[in-house]
Amino acid sequence: MINNSLRKPKKLFSAIALTLGMVLSGLPNAYATLPAISTGDNASQPSLAPMLETVLPSVVSIKVEGTAQMQTNIPEEFRRFFGYPDSQSRSFTGQGSGVIIDADKGYIVTNNHVIDNADTITVVLNDGHEYKAKLIGKDPQSDIALLKVEDAKKLIAIKLADSDKMRVGDFVVAIGNPFGIGQTVTSGIISALARSGLNMNGFENFIQTDASINRGNSGGALVNLNGELVGINTAIIAPSGGNVGIGFAIPSNMVKNLTSQLIEYGEVKRGVLGIKGNELTSDIAKAFDLDVQKGAFVSEVIDDSAAKDAGIKSGDVIISMDGKPVDSFAELRAKIATTGAGRTVKLGLIRDGKEMTVDVKLKNSDESSTEAKSLHPALEGATLSNGDVKGKKGVLIESIAKNSPASRLSLQEGDLITGVNKERINNIADLRKIIDSKPSAIALNIVRGDSQLYLILR
């Protein structure tokens, strides 16, 4: 059985995560306009071959085998009465791609959905050699995982580009293993940058491309014409499952930040700014008399947060981070979330019509999915932070990974956990304390909008 992971946003189309790939239309006449980068006897003919000769060995195929739990639709009372198990497991196989980022240490980056629930992971090099790989760490919210192979000889690592320097219209090349047929190369351009709003869950700050990519390309490389990695191919839009030329890659700068933390800690220790906000719409700009069209609008600053300490105020518009433009709240959220806790970042903002910069030392709000899992297995895949919604304090559900235990629990982004077993909680520390006391049953009091509900952890 081939493992095909899918991501479907709540729109008329489907955004597909590519365990067996990502879909994109090729650029019909791309080669007619590509710069003549070839050398030698055929120098007059535009060709990507010289660049690819150095890059292809850095892209690998990944094969996985594992087991996954199948949820049953039988009501709990019937399962108990007839003695049915809570769930059944099934075995699966899957294929994807990966990119070597450190040849000496054997580090390979791929998508989390490629290796999720895998019991064994096999890496197949460009030359056909196979090696067993172990999982160093993963981050479901950003869909990144880091693997390591031991005793592999003559690995060749790819060079990472500065993805913030990429422009719409730049030529790119996608490399992966579509449908398991073998390493395949396609070309196109960057169609858009900082793409978000796809309802995929997690953090969205994608490079959009039309390079033709299909199932099996997940975790593969998107490179520029210098052979440098600009992104990890991750998802597509496919209204009817066909190729419509819209695909998405995680920017290399995000990949670099995430993998460095996975190497050091085995998990992502997210930086937290401590604001709530919105996309900067024309209505907001008019209401607040703002002479700016892009940025992240700050609607609220959380008490005792990094933003509060730095002097950020409600009504500010954040327009840059470390000197690089921020076009939307989603982009700021993704950049902050993939920056390590304790790091100091420089934020450019507009206040009362004037530009200014502030230095912000990001805090760690105990929000990574690994830490959520450590609270309770049913919370795996949730991103948690200390929250304050309309004067009510508690634990805020910031994001939920698709198909994670937390998503099956019916938790939603924006939920605020305000109590456990009728005891009020104000923060993650309170939640941890009660759960660690190991009560026989755990009932979470959830505030969702203007409603309250209870969810039971099992």
Is the domain of 161 the same as that of 240?
yes
- Active-site residue identified among 116, 143, 327, 388: 143
What is the pLDDT at residue 201? 58
To the query of whether residue 113 is one of the catalytic residues in this protein, the response is yes
Distance CA 102, CA 260 (A): 11
Q: Which of 202, 237, 265 is the last residue of a domain?
A: 265
pLDDT at position 239 over 70 = yes
What is the domain-level CATH number for residue 344? 2.30.42.10
What is the pLDDT at residue 41? 58
Cα atoms in the 13 Å half-sphere on the side-chain side of 342: 4
Distance CA 18, CA 9 (A): 14
The domain in which residue 188 lies consists of 1-265
Q: Where are the alpha helices (DSSP H) in 290-386?
A: 306-310, 329-337, 369-375
What is the pLDDT at residue 151? 86
**pLDDT tens figures, 148-184:** 999 888 899 999 999 999 999 999 999 998 888 889 9
Distance CA 379, CA 361 (A): 28
Please state the separation of Cα 108 from the chain's center in Å. 16
To the query of whether residue 129 is one of the catalytic residues in this protein, the response is no
- Active-site residue identified among 113, 139, 305, 385: 113
The secondary structure of the chain in percent helix, strand, coil, rounded to multiples of 5, reads 20, 40, 40
Picking from 120, 132, 124, the residue whose alpha carbon sits closest to that of residue 96 is 124
Is the domain of 81 the same as that of 34?
yes
Is the domain of 198 the same as that of 254?
yes
Is the domain of 203 the same as that of 234?
yes
To the query of whether residue 162 is one of the catalytic residues in this protein, the response is no
pLDDT at position 390 over 80 = no
What is the pLDDT at residue 167? 95
Is the domain of 286 the same as that of 430?
no
- Active-site residue identified among 97, 142, 212, 218: 218
Give the total number of structural domains in the chain.
Answer: 3
Is the domain of 184 the same as that of 326?
no
**pLDDT tens figures, 423-456:** 889 888 788 778 777 676 788 999 988 888 888 8
pLDDT bracket for residue 330 (50, 70, 90): confident
42 or 347, greater pLDDT: 347
**pLDDT tens figures, 85-120:** 555 667 888 899 999 999 999 999 999 999 988 899
What is the domain-level CATH number for residue 39? 2.40.10.120
